[in-house]
């Protein structure tokens, strides 16, 4: 958990978030709305790019459907919201809650996170996570300028999840195989697209409820290996 790359990534998000919160408090409402739109559009582009990595769209669809149902039944997004509410001492879906959930999804889902953490844990190569740190720091600044302090607390998610992947790299190394990685990335891409749609206020999709899909897609592809001739 004390891997230098994970620490750097966490500090980059923290610094970007703090700067963004400071800047955001000084921006007029019309500029803040433009920032929301800019982040939303960029997020859509990132999500589409990730989605195009899919090897089997049926697997992606089934994973999202099953994962979404499981997440809905478990009320994962509601639980994440309550956790954020507890930190903020508030109720409901406040900007703090939206910022926390949005930033968490953006910063911990994606091929750079998986490959970067596996490389760091298996061979000590931190280069991908260092590059990701720069991108995350910039994104955190823009997000925090719109959402505020909720983005700052996403640093806990970044540290815990990436630290866990690095620590378990030996067990999770199979995820770097394109057979698993491509559909995993596509499912993550669909979730990132949902974040973009939410940022643009097109539809309020409960992105957090789709988190089980990231596990389901790996399980489905594993099961399918027994049926490949």
Residue 141 in domain: yes
Residue 162 in domain: yes
Burial (CB < 10 A; 0-12, 13-18, 19+), residue 229, is exposed
Note the pTM of the prediction, 2 decimals.
0.84
Residue 219 in domain: no
Domain count, the chain: 1
Residue 179 in domain: no
pLDDT value of position 82: 83
Half-sphere exposure of 168 (CA within 13 A, CB side): 11
Q: What is the pLDDT of residues 45-101, one digit of tens each?
A: 988 998 998 999 999 999 999 999 999 999 988 888 888 788 777 777 788 888 888
Residue 147 in domain: yes
Calculate what percentage of the chain has a pLDDT beyond 70: 99
Range of the domain at 132: 4-55+76-173+194-204
pLDDT value of position 228: 66
Residue 67 in domain: no
d(C-alpha 151, C-alpha 20), whole Å: 9
Residue 30 in domain: yes
Segments of the chain scoring below 70 in pLDDT: 1, 228-229
Residue 144 in domain: yes
């Amino acid at each position: 958990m004390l891997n230098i790359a994970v620490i750097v990534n966490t500090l980059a998000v923290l610094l970007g978030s703090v700067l963004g919160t400071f800047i955001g408090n000084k921006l007029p409402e019309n500029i803040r709305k433009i920032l929301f739109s800019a982040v939303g559009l960029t997020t859509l582009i990132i999500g589409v790019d990730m989605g195009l990595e899919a090897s089997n769209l049926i697997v992606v669809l089934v994973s999202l459907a099953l994962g979404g149902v499981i997440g809905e039944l478990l009320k994962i997004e509601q639980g994440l919201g309550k956790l954020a509410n507890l930190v903020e001492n508030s109720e409901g879906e406040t900007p703090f809650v939206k910022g926390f959930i949005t930033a968490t999804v953006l910063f911990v889902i994606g091929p750079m996170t998986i490959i970067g953490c596996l490389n760091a844990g298996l061979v000590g190569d931190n280069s991908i996570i260092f590059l990701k740190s720069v991108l995350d720091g910039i994104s955190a600044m823009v997000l925090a300028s719109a959402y505020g302090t909720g983005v700052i607390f996403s640093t806990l998610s970044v540290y815990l999840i990436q630290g866990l992947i690095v620590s378990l790299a030996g067990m999770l190394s199979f995820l770097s195989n394109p057979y698993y990685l491509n559909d995993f990335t596509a499912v993550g891409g669909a979730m990132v697209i949902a974040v973009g749609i939410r940022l643009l206020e097109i539809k309020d999709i409960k992105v957090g409820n789709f988190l089980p899909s990231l596990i389901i897609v790996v399980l489905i592809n594993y099961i399918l290996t027994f049926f490949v001739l």
